[in-house]
A and B are shown apart, each in its own frame.
Chain A
Amino acid sequence: GNSVTQMEGPVTLSEEAFLTINCTYTATGYPSLFWYVQYPGEGLQLLLKATKADDKGSNKGFEATYRKETTSFHLEKGSVQVSDSAVYFCALSDGSSNTGKLIFGQGTTLQVKP
Chain B
Amino acid sequence: GAVVSQHPSRVICKSGTSVKIECRSLDFQATTMFWYRQFPKQSLMLMATSNEGSKATYEQGVEKDKFLINHASLTLSTLTVTSAHPEDSSFYICSASGQATTYEQYFGPGTRLTVT
Chain A interface residues toward B at CB < 8 A: 4, 36, 41-46, 89, 96, 98-99, 101-107
Contacts and interface: CB of A to CB of B under 8 A. Distances in A.
B93 A89 contact: no
Contacts of A42: 109
Contacts of A107: 41-43
B67 interface: no
B37 to A, nearest CB: 11
A106 B93 contact: no
A103 B102 CA distance: 19
Contacts of B104: 46, 98
A44 B49 CA distance: 17
Interface of B: 4, 32, 34, 41-44, 46, 49, 93, 95, 97, 102-110
Given A98-B102, A101-B34, A101-B49, A44 B107 contact: yes
Contacts of A4: 43
B111 to A, nearest CB: 11
A106 B43 contact: yes
Given A89-B44, A104-B44, A43 B103 contact: no
B52 to A, nearest CB: 14
Contacts of A98: 97, 102-105
